[in-house]
Amino acid sequence: MVIIMKKQASSEDINHIKVKIEKLGCKVHTSEGESCIILGVVGDTSSIDTGIFEVEESVDKVMRVQSPYKRASRAFHPSDTVINLGTTSIGGNNLTVIAGPCAVENETQLLTIASAVKKSGATILRGGAFKPRTSPYSFQGLKEEGLKLLKKAKDLTGLPVVTEVMSIDQIEVTSKYVDMIQIGARNMQNFELLKAVGKTDMPVLLKRGLSATIEEFLMAAEYIMASGNEKVILCERGIRTYETYTRNTLDISAVLAVKKLSHLPIIVDPSHASGRWWMVEPLSKAAVAVGADGIAVEVHNDPANALSDGEQSIKPEKFTAMMHSLSDLAKIQNKTLKVD
């Protein structure tokens, strides 16, 4: 941490700040110039709130050097994390393909889609039972009924299953039926929910918030990890910007930033990022080319009658074609993806 004192700070002011630093168990070095005095704070500053210095009248600004997260940081865990999930693994050389409908609608719909994506090489099945919807008047999901159908689809195809939970009381019932829990973008900073999934031992797929910085994204992972659960998979799903042609703006560079800063696997969701089904294949290719550990895509057998997100879902036959393209790309990238 670096603290810049104001030009007019007295030696008393400086001393006051130094005492405050030392009380926190850190040491301080001073660089005095003509126009400012720089205090270099060394020691473990990761859990110090910069605000306690910013509030002082004699301080000009405070800049963090060390990242505020530890367990999620590559500095503390240099090698890539690989997370096992039933028949598959996420991270390392594996190319993960999560596919399935936005929402579980009924048995026929889910089993049809599940069989199709399994056949084309998907490694994990997705499907929403609890649905976060902008409008209270939209379809809110089948709830436990949907979870049971996901279990049925898992038994039929052998694919591990991921589904979203939206509140603490949904965790217990959900964990009876599925293999991985998803925290949605709108709940990325629902800290009570993060702590609660952190107390389970289920892998957690954590989606980036609509306006979360990369640092906040990793801090959300840190919340889960600090509660005891190290099995976190990150998902870049587009951020909110001024551009409205796409539903969100896919921040493809975030994959590289996360890989640099953290050891956790990161996948890309081109369906939510773009909101347009015809962008899903090329954006999936871009995700693999940039080095993501996988993708999560929405597949629906009848998008025009889907109860949610039809406009960004691709049909099973389109999914099959895409998997063949990705397979060629995976070879160049030295990633493992089995497509028949």
> Could you tell me the sign of the dihedral formed by the alpha carbons of 128, 131, 137, 143, in that order?
positive
Per CB under 8 A, does 13 bind its own copies?
A: no
Residue (21 or 116) nearer to its own copies, CB? 21
The distance of closest approach from Cβ of residue 138 to its own copies in the complex, given in angstroms and rounded to an integer, is: 6
Interface residue with its own copies among 250, 295, 297, 299 (CB under 8 A) is: 250
Per CB under 8 A, does 79 bind its own copies?
A: no
CA–CA dist 36, 59 (Å, integer): 10
Site for its own copies in 264-283 (CB under 8 A): 273-274, 277-279, 282-283
CA–CA dist 206, 220 (Å, integer): 8
Per CB under 8 A, does 199 bind its own copies?
A: no
* Half-sphere CA count of 35, side-chain side, radius 13 A: 0
E-strand stretches of 262-320:
266-268, 294-298
Interface residue with its own copies among 175, 251, 321, 339 (CB under 8 A) is: 251
Per CB under 8 A, does 8 bind its own copies?
A: no
Interface residue with its own copies among 10, 19, 52, 145 (CB under 8 A) is: 52
Residue (85 or 147) nearer to its own copies, CB? 147
19 contacts 27 by C-beta, under 8 angstroms: no
Residue (49 or 201) nearer to its own copies, CB? 49
Per CB under 8 A, does 32 bind its own copies?
A: yes
CA–CA dist 235, 269 (Å, integer): 7
Per CB under 8 A, does 172 bind its own copies?
A: no
Residue (233 or 288) nearer to its own copies, CB? 288
Residue type, 57: E
Interface residue with its own copies among 108, 228, 291, 338 (CB under 8 A) is: 291
Per CB under 8 A, does 290 bind its own copies?
A: yes
CA–CA dist 1, 41 (Å, integer): 5
Residue (158 or 331) nearer to its own copies, CB? 331
H or E segment at 148? Answer: helix 144-157
Q: Which residues of 221-248 are buried (b: 16+ CB within 10 A; e: fewer)?
A: bbbbbbeebbbbbbbbbbbeeeeeeebb
Site for its own copies in 88-127 (CB under 8 A): none
CA–CA dist 329, 334 (Å, integer): 9
Interface residue with its own copies among 88, 93, 227, 301 (CB under 8 A) is: 227
Interface residue with its own copies among 13, 18, 38, 111 (CB under 8 A) is: 38
- What would the DSSP string read from start to end of 166-216? -SGGGHHHHHHH-SEEEE-GGGTT-HHHHHHHHTS-S-EEEEPPTT--HHH
Hey, what are 251's tokens?
């921040």
Of the listed pieces 66-74, 88-96, 117-125, 148-156, which binds its own copies according to CB under 8 A? 66-74
Of the listed pieces 78-86, 93-101, 229-237, 251-259, which binds its own copies according to CB under 8 A? 251-259
Per CB under 8 A, does 87 bind its own copies?
A: no
CA–CA dist 255, 333 (Å, integer): 15
Per CB under 8 A, does 166 bind its own copies?
A: yes
Q: What are phi and psi of 73, to 5 degrees?
A: -85, 140
Interface residue with its own copies among 100, 129, 223, 263 (CB under 8 A) is: 223
* Cα-based torsion angle of the residue sequence 156, 157, 159, 165 in order, rounded to the nearest 10 degrees: -40
Of the listed pieces 26-34, 77-85, 121-129, 155-163, which binds its own copies according to CB under 8 A? 26-34
The distance of closest approach from Cβ of residue 28 to its own copies in the complex, given in angstroms and rounded to an integer, is: 8
